[in-house]
Structure 1
Amino acid sequence: MTDSTWGAGAGEDGPAGIVVGVDGSDQSICALFWAAREARRRQCPLHVVTAYTVPIFAASSMDAGYTTVDDAMIRDGAQQVLDEAIERISHYGVEVIPRVETGDAAAVLLELSEDADLMVVGSRGRGGFVGRLLGSVSSALPAHAKCPTVVVPLRTAGRLPDSGIRPPANSPDPDAVHHAVVVGVDGSEQGRAASLVAAEQARSMGLPLRILCALPPFTGSLAWVPAPLDIEALHAELREQLDAGRDWLQSHFPGLEMTVELVDGTPSEILVERTAKVELLVMGTRGRGGFAGMLLGSTSQSVMHHAKGPLMVVPDHDDPRLLDRANFGPMIAE
């Protein structure tokens, strides 16, 4: 499966292209500018989406039943948020398709993800026009979306100076960002699928790909191991598997510069640190028994909540290129 395959089933009114959720918060505007840049680079449509629900309140009188807020008033507010957002990216010259949707924001975006090439959201939206479009959405969407999702933290604002958003005081220095894409792998099928998408992204951005595996420290939690672990032998075995994985990936992307890195440390901490230093970090939704333990899953949630730069989460998907991985050397049997 390649980038162009995501959203392949979209019809003429479908959201093929990039979908970004906005709610008027600085977090969502930061995501909007990242999405606009990506849409311009890919030369694809950008769907700018906001969603709202109509609150229902219990009336004070027992015979009054329930009362609702005027739908038109809330929709007008949503439309204003959307119009202001679109105006801010008008200079990008991309095809923008505005969408005001009724319903739970997470549910709306999840449905749109079925036909999209890429979803983009900010993290922890606050004080949007009605409730929070982001926040819980930035956690739920990557875990359940049908296409890759990029979560753009507010700390990324320094890399998007034209957004007009002032980055938080503890944001990474944008001038120190390395022009590279990093993918976190753990030997699982999900990690391999994510590496294919990461390689597609790196190639399209004209950047090198760094394949990173973090090996958790061995602690008393492994006291049940019957014999002393030979750490050097373990590292050598993992390195052999990583190199074989790189050779497999290189066979599908022969012109792409890529390197492998095996580091000791807690996976979530290592990956969060890298988000501050590279253009994009890519990971799968979860790992299954890979050689570095459960790199993804709970780790992906931790990285999403603490990322200092754009993070792409790739859902589980079938890719025919996974079938020839065993031809290139040792791999974890799942």
Structure 2
Amino acid sequence: MTDARGSTSPSGAVVVGVDGSEQSLRAAHWAAAEAYRRGLPLSVLTAYSMPAFAASSMDGGYAMMDDSGLRAGADGVIEQAREFLRDYPAEVTYRVESGDPSTVLLEESRTAELVVIGTRGRGGFLGRLLGSVSSALPAHAQSPVVLVPLQFSSQAENAVTSATGAIPIVSESDGPGAAAPASLVEQGAKPIRERDPRPVIAGVDGSDYGRVAALTAAREASERGTTLRLVCALPPVSAITMWAPTHIDDAEAIEELRGKLYAGALWLNYHYPSLHIDYEVQSGTSVDVLVDQTRHAQLTVLGTRGRGGFAGMLLGSTSQGVIQRAAGPLMVVPENSDRRIANRDEFGPVL
């Protein structure tokens, strides 16, 4: 295990942001398991910055002292993460960066294979690494971002532990964003040995960005040896169109969407022939449907742009409600192009 201060993570690493909270240790545990599964370097980092009001209101001497105190706190966060991951069987790089946490992680996403964060932090300056960053980072990162939600630990207690998800090792008794208890750090991150049989979920909405996310989800499911499930949410059509001149039946709308999802499954199977894919249309809002699906998935994959619904909501205020309520990890795929979407029309009607 090494330290690398003022540098960048190894190219292609799994990068995880920590801030000393229980939530960030959950994210670190998930990231460690994922890095090990993928055979990639693991980079654990924290970031701190001098608040603008303090820097402008203090003379140089006091500002230097305050910066020193913040740095000492950041060093303590990294030492806690190092102790928590002490039994990790591969190489880990630990880093402290001076700068805005969002900016630091966005820069990391340029070369990272994956960036992992929690959805709640401790508050204060270090706490900005989790919480507010979970709003900005998924929409602008250049690599996929996985958000490990607050409820993940307690909801996962009855699930099979896996090489793709965190073991339920943390208590929520101290509430959201609480500092990690000493007993948690002493216990350390436990090995994850069992394969997770739960599916990978892809929330789809018919956009090209949603299709890129579906391809990513297909790859994730294939590598994990599990099923891919395509899910589309449909608000009750009869309520939306009750004033329209022509009545549209809910059942007809669902059947039409199912046909398009079937065509999408054929297209994905063309690119991943050995992958088992199922699909479903669920009546309800995108938020409610997605939250329910995360209870049964080892990973849920979404895009960052779309026609609303799953892909679109991660740029708006609704995204925070989804992240806060989700019971499993969410992977947000950036707006990358993928040449494979060019042949989607060959497999049937498009969503």
TM-score grouping bracket, smaller chain normalisation: 0.7 to 0.9
Give yes or no for the alignment of 1:267 onto 2:286.
yes
1:42 corresponding residue in structure 2: 38
Q: What is the match of residue 273 of structure 2? A: 254
3-state SS of paired residue (2:87) = helix
Equivalent pairs, count: 313
> Shift of residue 283 of structure 1?
1.1
Question: Once the 2 structures are TM-superposed, how far is the Cα of residue 296 of structure 1 from its aligned partner?
Answer: 5.8
8 Å contact from structure 2 (residues 201, 230) kept in 1: yes
Q: Which residue, out of 98, 122, 127, partners 2:118? A: 122
What are the superposed Cα offsets for residues 68-102 of structure 1, whole Å, 9 maximum, x if unpaired?
14233322221221122022112121221112111
State the alpha-carbon separation in 1 of the partners of residues 139 and 325 from structure 2. Answer: 16
CA RMSD of aligned residues (A): 2.9
- Name the CA distance, whole Å, in 2 between partners of 1:103 and 1:124: 19
Identity %: 46
Match of residue 224, structure 2, among 205, 212, 223: 205
Whichever residue aligns with residue 131 of structure 2, its letter is: G
Write the mapping of 1:152-301 to structure 2, written as runs, cut at 5 A.
Answer: 152-158=148-154, 159=156, 164-167=169-172, 179-218=198-237, 220-223=239-242, 225-288=244-307, 297-298=315-316, 299-301=318-320
Q: Is the 8 A contact 1:58 1:65 kept in 2?
A: no
Residues 295, 215 of structure 1: alpha-carbon distance in 2 compared, 3 angstrom cutoff = farther
- 2:339, 2:75 → 1: CA distance? 42
8 Å contact kept, 1:190–1:287: yes
Q: Give the deviation of 1:317 after TM superposition.
A: 1.0
Q: Distance in 2 between matches of 1:268 and 1:225?
A: 26
Residue aligning to 1:24: 20
How far apart, CA to CA, are the structure 2 residues paired with 1:256 and 1:221?
36
User: In 2, are the aligned partners of 1:184 and 1:271 still within 8 Å (CA)?
Assistant: yes
Distance 2:281 2:167 in 1: 37
**Distance of 1:289 and 1:226 partners within structure 2:** 25
Does the alignment pair 1:151 with 2:147? yes
The one of 67, 72, 78 equivalent to 1:76 is 72
Q: Distance in 2 between matches of 1:303 and 1:283?
A: 12
Paired with 1:156 and 1:91, the residues of 2 have a C-alpha distance of 22
Distance in 1, matches of 2:235 and 2:167, equals 39
Unaligned runs of 5+ in 1: 1-10, 171-176
Amino acid at match of 2:170: I
Report the Cα distance in structure 1 between the residues aligned to 2:145 and 2:264, rounded to whole angstroms. 24
Which stretch of structure 1 is more off in the superposition, 120-129 or 98-107? 120-129
Secondary structure of the 1:324 match is helix
String of CA shifts for 1:112-152, please: whole Å, max 9, x gaps.
10111111000121246744321101111111111111100
Residues 274-293 of structure 1, C-alpha deviations (whole Å, 9 max, x = no match): 11222111111132268x99
Q: Verify the 8 A CA contact 1:156 1:167 in the aligned structure 2.
A: no
| Per-residue deviation, residues 250-282 of structure 1 (Å, max 9, x unmatched) | 110111111011111111101111112221111
The runs of 5 or more residues in structure 2 that have no matched partner are: 1-6, 157-164, 176-195
The worse-fitting range, judged by mean Cα deviation, of 306-315 and 72-81 is: 72-81
Q: TM-score, normalised by structure 1?
A: 0.84
After the TM superposition, which of the residue ranges 232-241 and 250-259 deviates more from structure 2? 232-241
Aligned 8 A contact 1:178 1:278 in 2: no
What TM-score do the two structures reach when normalised by structure 2? Answer: 0.80
Which residue does the alignment assign to 1:308? 327
For 1:40, the aligned partner's letter is Y
Say if 1:48 and 1:199 are closer, same or farther in 2 by CA, change over 3 A.
same
